[in-house]
Amino acid sequence: MDKGAEKQTAVGSVEEVLPDSLFRVRVDPSEDGSPPAQELVLAYLAGKMRLNRIRVLVGDKVEMVLDPYGGRARITRRLT
């Protein structure tokens, strides 16, 4: 993995909770007006969130780092 590569972050809301700490998240449109690459992504919890036992529920707004290849994301912060 390239250390200098910039990670693309997005904000979304949790639509569905799946087994094994997976979530289906609807990506919110970005501030610059460009549409998201995919509307729904499959997201998993980051290690620090698992370690600190932060709960994510349906309807929560979350910040996530999108996978450059699309379709998946890592939830890094729970906003509400």
Q: What domains are defined for the chain?
A: 9-78 (2.40.50.140)
Q: pTM of the full predicted structure?
A: 0.82
**Residue 9 bridge partners (DSSP):** 65
Angstrom distances, CA of residue 45 to CA of 2, 4, 34, 35, 58: 22, 23, 26, 24, 14
Distances (CA, A) of 14 to 9, 32, 43, 72: 15, 22, 9, 13
pLDDT tens for each residue of 16-39 = 999 998 999 999 887 665 656 668
Q: What is the pLDDT of residues 32-63, one digit of tens each?
A: 656 566 689 999 999 898 999 999 999 999 99
